[in-house]
Amino acid sequence: MYGYYDPPFSVEKDGISISLDKTGDRWVYRRTSGKDEVEKLVLGDRKRIIINPVEPLNTPKEITPNLLIEFEKTVLLAGGEKRQIFLTFPVEIGVFISDIGDKNPQLIDVLSLSRQKFTLYGEVSNGVVCKHWKSRLYSVSPDLNPLQEGVMELTLRNASSEWASISKAVFSAYGMKLYYDGDVFMKARMEILNRNTAETGFDMQPVNGEMKGYLVKDQKIRKEAFGVYSLRKLGFVPLKFYMGWGF
Amino acid sequence: MILPDINLPAILPDLNLLDNVLYTTSKSQVTPGDLIKFVIVLTFSIIFLRVIIIYLRRTLKDHVSKDVGEPILKLLYYGSLVVIFISILPLIGIDPSGLLLAGGVAGIVLGFASQNIVGNLVSGCFLMFERPIKIGDQVDVNGIAGYVTDIRIISTLIRTYDGLLVRIPNQQVFTTNITNIVGHPVRRFEYTIRIRYSDDAGAAIWLIKDLIDKEPFALLSPSPSVFVNELGDSSVNIVVRIWAPVSEWFGLKTRLLWNIKKTLEENGIEIPYPQRVLHIKSETEKKPQLAEEPNINRLEETEPVLNFEERVLN
């Protein structure tokens, strides 16, 4: 379903139907997903529709830019160690309209097939509300439905000298960079600073060639997705997340 | 054509009105021209500052939240205005350094005369710096609940939930109890669900927990709690406590309560009406000396309360 479409077009998969058709002298965008139906008028020609995965923080309502991934099993990481694990994260499907040449992309619709749940990270008085996702841990990249889940390659580094017990990681959407091509992929890092604090961020570097273990893919094949957050004109927004209430 | 020899200065006594001395101070003589210059400079400064503030407001709009940007802009505006005002005082013959001395005496006089205004002004400054409330917050100040739309130098504006604009003097805001409804990122709300004694409380709790789990905005942490809180007169009382983001709690509260009611009813669990069990003593119990009663009296013992009352009334 992900890709670039020149109108008129219609695409359907996993119960989602997206189309842009000409009715009279105007274009009509239609999307159905279960009981959810969206219809919008598009005034203007020579437009292109881009469907790609976006940060999982826009549905059912954008109330936080933070994603908390809870690990199904706690990870114990020795002091000074650096290890890679694979996690899953929820995917939202963003529909953009752009000028020919993919300039000025504008989000027109966003939907999700994943479970929606929020949680609080930190204290009631000064914590942060986060979108919640529970993930299994994998040593190699799992095969997932790209319309529902993506793969996150997380590099854990314990900068302290003590063992670290890690059961969750919080990420800021402002730094997220998603890639897609058959799968949806993000590359993140988490640095344990001491017993209670850690810092998370995302790598903008090309996708790791060992992504699929045996199936070699490189960044030239995988496309970079337009992000909802990355399209915004942001001021001084930190791209990293400082986890000060434990992990 | 030859103009007649007219003595113009005699007709127009003085065209240099602007150079006339209005009053003299220890430093200089002040003319109407100085006064006009003072007014012009002050007016242009105010216009210039307003343009700058509008420009800055537009520039900062996407980068800084309104509750942070507005106090900074106000401080910049009024601070600059004070500096400009003091610096152009020499135009009207007032030495700013003299204000320090005069200010002491004048301050006392003005202080007594305008203590409410000054009190509101000072409270306004403290409100901007201490920030117990911010623009956009939902607050309850002295029984007035609503959204803070502006914190001005003298007063705070609140738009109540029914759309009324209330202006509260800053002194009152600062010295009264303020409840900031959105002061923390999350808040808890509570229901008491009553079910019949004949219903399975365990099943009801399971159904309610399942509904909470399906609600995205019912937070996982702090976790919700659902438990039997009381064995009431007419019902088993189940308390439901849920945490939600402050922006979403009200919508969730109103939506979920009805869903709980519908789901419980669909599963045969009903919310009972208040009820009282009446035990009616028969004549047999009142008069134990009567040995045998006909069978019809035994039926009366188990007769429904309603029928009994009907019979008595009739």
Which domain CATH number covers B192?
3.30.70.100
Domain count, chain B: 4
**Residue A133 CA: distances (Å) to CA of A167, A171, B213, B242, B289:** 12, 11, 13, 19, 77
Task: Tell me the CATH number at B156.
Answer: 2.30.30.60
Reply yes or no on whether the pLDDT at A90 is more than 50: yes
Return the closest-CA partner of residue A18 out of A5, A30, A8, A36. Answer: A30
Mean pLDDT, chain B, as a whole number?
80
Mean pLDDT of B15-19: 66
**Residue A129 CA: distances (Å) to CA of A30, A149, A161:** 32, 21, 31
**Residue A158 CA: distances (Å) to CA of A51, A139, A194, B271:** 38, 18, 8, 55
- B196 and B174 within one domain: no
Beta-carbon separation of A120 and B184 below 8 A: no
DSSP state of B271: P
Does A20 lie at the interface with B, CB-CB under 8 angstroms? no
Question: Which residues 184-243 on chain B approach chain A with CB closer than 8 angstroms?
Answer: 184-186, 216-217, 219-222, 243
- B237 and B302 within one domain: no
3-state secondary structure chain A: CCEEECCCEEEEECCEEEEEEEECCEEEEEEEECCEEEEEEECCCCEEEEEEEECCCCCCCCCCCEEEEEEEEEEEECCCCEEEEEEEEECEEEEEEEECCCEEEEEEEEEECCCCCEEEECCCCCCEEEEEEEECCECCCCCCCCCCEEEEEEEEEECCCCCEEEEEEEEEHHHCCCEECCCEEEEEEEEECCCCCEEEEECCCCCCCCCECCECCCCCCCEECCCCCCCCCCCCCCCCEEECCCC
- B203 and B262 within one domain: yes
Q: Give percent of chain B above pLDDT 70.
A: 75
SS3 call for B23: strand
The answer to whether position B205 is within a domain reads: yes
Beta-carbon separation of B63 and A235 below 8 A: yes
Most confident of A54-58, B1-5, B56-60: A54-58
Q: Provide the token pair at A32.
A: 């159905």
Q: What is the pLDDT of residues B165-195, one digit of tens each?
A: 999 988 888 888 888 888 899 999 999 999 9
Cis bond upstream, residue A105 (ω within 30) = no
- B190 and B250 within one domain: yes
The answer to whether position B119 is within a domain reads: no
Does B248 lie at the interface with A, CB-CB under 8 angstroms? yes
Nearest CA in chain B to A70: B220
Looking at residue B311, what is its pLDDT? 43
CA B251 from centre of chain: 18
| Residues spanned by the domain of A126 | 3-243
CA A135 from centre of chain: 14
Contacts of B304 (CB under 8 A, 6+ apart): none
**Partner residue opposite B216 with nearest CB, options A116, A120, A125:** A116
Q: What is the pLDDT of residues A147-167, one digit of tens each?
A: 999 999 999 999 988 899 999
Strand order in the sheet with B178-180: B165-169, B155-160, B144-151, B138-141, B178-180
Return the closest-CA partner of residue B222 out of B214, B230, B212. Answer: B212
Looking at residue A214, what is its pLDDT? 36
Looking at residue B265, what is its pLDDT? 93
Reply yes or no on whether the pLDDT at A215 is more than 90: no
Q: Are strands A184-192 and A149-158 parallel, antiparallel or unpaired?
A: parallel
**Poorest-confidence range of B88-92, B154-158, B225-229?**
B88-92
Contacts of B156 (CB under 8 A, 6+ apart): B124, B127, B133, B141, B148, B150, B167, B168, B170, B173
Q: What is the pLDDT of residues A100-124, one digit of tens each?
A: 777 788 889 999 998 999 999 999 9
- B233 and B260 within one domain: yes
Residue B98 exposure: Cα atoms within 13 Å on the Cβ side:
8
Nearest CA in chain A to B212: A117
Does A129 lie at the interface with B, CB-CB under 8 angstroms? yes
> How far is the C-alpha of A220 from the C-alpha of B179, rounded, in Å?
55
Rounded to a whole number of angstroms, the distance from the CA of B99 to the nearest CA of chain A is: 42
Other residues' Cβ atoms within 10 Å of the Cβ of residue B15: 9
More confident residue, B124 or A184: A184
Looking at residue B159, what is its pLDDT? 94
The answer to whether B241 and B188 have CB atoms below 8 angstroms apart is yes
Does B63 lie at the interface with A, CB-CB under 8 angstroms? yes
Any alpha helices (H) in chain B, and if so which ranges? 8-11, 32-60, 66-88, 96-113, 115-130, 170-175, 201-214, 249-266, 283-286, 295-301, 305-313
- B27 and B90 within one domain: yes
Q: Which residues of B touch A120 (CB under 8 A)?
A: 185-186, 219, 221-222, 243
The length of chain B in residues reads: 314
> How far is the C-alpha of B233 from the C-alpha of B76, rounded, in Å?
64
ipTM confidence score: 0.85
Beta-carbon separation of B219 and A129 below 8 A: yes
- B195 and B154 within one domain: no
Rg from Cα positions in chain A: 19
SS3 call for B141: strand
Q: How confident is the model at residue B284 (pLDDT cuts 50, 70, 90)?
A: low
- B166 and B203 within one domain: no
The domain boundary, picked from B180, B209, B238, lies at B180
The answer to whether A19 and A42 have CB atoms below 8 angstroms apart is no
- B175 and B204 within one domain: no
Return the closest-CA partner of residue B149 out of B126, B133, B132, B173. Answer: B133
Beta-carbon separation of B216 and A60 below 8 A: yes
| Residues spanned by the domain of B171 | 132-180
The answer to whether position B63 is within a domain reads: yes
> How far is the C-alpha of A127 from the C-alpha of A246, rounded, in Å?
12
Domain count, chain A: 1
